[in-house]
């Protein structure tokens, strides 16, 4: 399907600005380029009822978190919570890169969102990000009362690399390594570090995420190729997906990750997991953080939030 006009405008802006592909930069340079693009691409962050920065213990020191409560929520009521893991190929991204997305989700959910600033590669390679996200999940569940949360309604979610980490936490929760989340929100997730599906051949140049850029991310995150078959990096390679919590999986057509995300949703369905799969055929990777030009970004966030709200309401009934 042809690319959405707003997404095409973003591609045009990237070309007009002569922005170098991320895979031609050092990680430090890529982080700076990504940060500079935020005010251009992202809408103004919406107000929320409450936001604060805090920390939790981690395997390599304190992990920074950011807690949001959506507009209209009762300040005295314990809220269900989405633990959100940001995208950026495990190399770029932080609490600020996804602040607007987390605020929107908190408002659309009418709940709490807690974002995790996990360690990044190449300074901290696989499985450092997994370990930090697992520590954050353990903390959120253990301290749910103090954080104003309903500890029986904790979900995990994220976009791209964050979707990968959320899927891994769901697998860990099923197997008892972390508290089991009740839902997984996977937004154009990385599901297999092999990076060899046909959709990689469709996204060669001119996109925010190309096949070469994705492989650059993977090389930094998992430089030991033997680690790439580990299900903690490639959840699609887990022996079984049975028994996982319900999922919302979003994929998009102009994305090297499209095929592996579709395959993950199909496996969830085949192995008895309740899954809602949304395929946005006219969109490209990373559009959720480009809402100033792509109105569909907020629509997708509303759809993801609606799926999670329905799960929470059903679970509470």
Please list the active-site residues: 160, 255, 285
Provide the pairing of β-strand 63-69 with 112-117. Answer: antiparallel
Residue 297's CB is within 10 A of a number of other CB atoms, namely 26
Please tell me the distance from the alpha carbon of residue 52 to that of residue 146, in angstroms, as a whole number. Answer: 14
Residue 2's CB is within 10 A of a number of other CB atoms, namely 10
Is 254:283 a contact under the CB 8 Å cutoff? yes
Cα–Cα distances (Å) from 104 to 38, 254, 288, 303, in that order, read: 16, 24, 11, 12
Please tell me the distance from the alpha carbon of residue 257 to that of residue 198, in angstroms, as a whole number. Answer: 9
Query: Residue 98: which of 111, 119, 115 has the closest Cα?
Result: 115
Residue with tokens 């002569």: 18
Cα–Cα distances (Å) from 281 to 4, 185, 260, 268, 311, in that order, read: 9, 19, 15, 21, 25
Please tell me the distance from the alpha carbon of residue 95 to that of residue 117, in angstroms, as a whole number. Answer: 6
Residue 195's CB is within 10 A of a number of other CB atoms, namely 18
Please tell me the distance from the alpha carbon of residue 68 to that of residue 240, in angstroms, as a whole number. Answer: 34
Query: Residue 165: which of 216, 130, 194, 120 has the closest Cα?
Result: 130
Please tell me the distance from the alpha carbon of residue 53 to that of residue 10, in angstroms, as a whole number. Answer: 31
Query: Is the bond into 62 cis (omega within 30 degrees of 0)?
Result: no
Instruction: Work out the burial of residue 145: count CB atoms within 10 Å of its CB; fewer than 13 is exposed, 13-18 middle, 19 or more buried.
Output: exposed
């Amino acid at each position: 399907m042809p690319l959405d006009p707003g997404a095409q405008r973003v591609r045009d802006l990237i070309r007009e600005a002569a922005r170098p592909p991320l895979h031609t930069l050092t990680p430090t340079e890529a982080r700076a380029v990504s940060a500079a693009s935020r005010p251009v691409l992202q809408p103004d962050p919406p107000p929320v009822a409450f936001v604060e920065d805090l920390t939790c213990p981690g395997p390599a020191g304190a992990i920074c978190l950011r807690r949001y409560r959506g507009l209209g929520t009762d300040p005295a009521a314990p809220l269900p919570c989405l633990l959100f893991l940001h995208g950026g190929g495990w190399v770029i991204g932080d609490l600020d890169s996804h602040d607007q997305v987390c605020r929107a989700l908190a408002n659309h959910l009418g709940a709490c969102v807690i974002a995790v600033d996990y360690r990044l590669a190449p300074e901290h390679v696989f499985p450092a990000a997994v370990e930090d996200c697992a520590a954050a999940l353990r903390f959120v569940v253990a301290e749910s009362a103090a954080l104003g949360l309903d500890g029986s309604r904790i979900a995990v979610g994220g976009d791209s690399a964050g979707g990968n980490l959320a899927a891994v936490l769901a697998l860990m929760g099923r197997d008892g390594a972390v508290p089991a989340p009740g839902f997984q929100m996977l937004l154009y997730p990385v599901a297999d570090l092999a990076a060899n599906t046909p959709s990689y051949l469709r996204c060669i140049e001119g996109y925010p995420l190309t096949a070469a850029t994705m492989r650059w991310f993977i090389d930094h995150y998992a430089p030991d190729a033997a680690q790439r078959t580990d299900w903690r990096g490639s959840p699609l390679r887990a022996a079984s997906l049975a028994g996982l919590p319900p999922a919302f999986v979003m994929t998009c057509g102009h994305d090297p990750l499209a095929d592996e995300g579709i395959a993950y949703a199909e496996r969830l369905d085949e192995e008895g997991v309740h899954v809602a799969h949304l395929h946005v055929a006219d969109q490209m990777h990373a559009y959720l953080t480009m809402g100033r030009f792509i109105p569909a970004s907020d629509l997708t966030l509303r759809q993801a939030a609606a799926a999670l709200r329905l799960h929470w309401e059903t679970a509470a009934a």
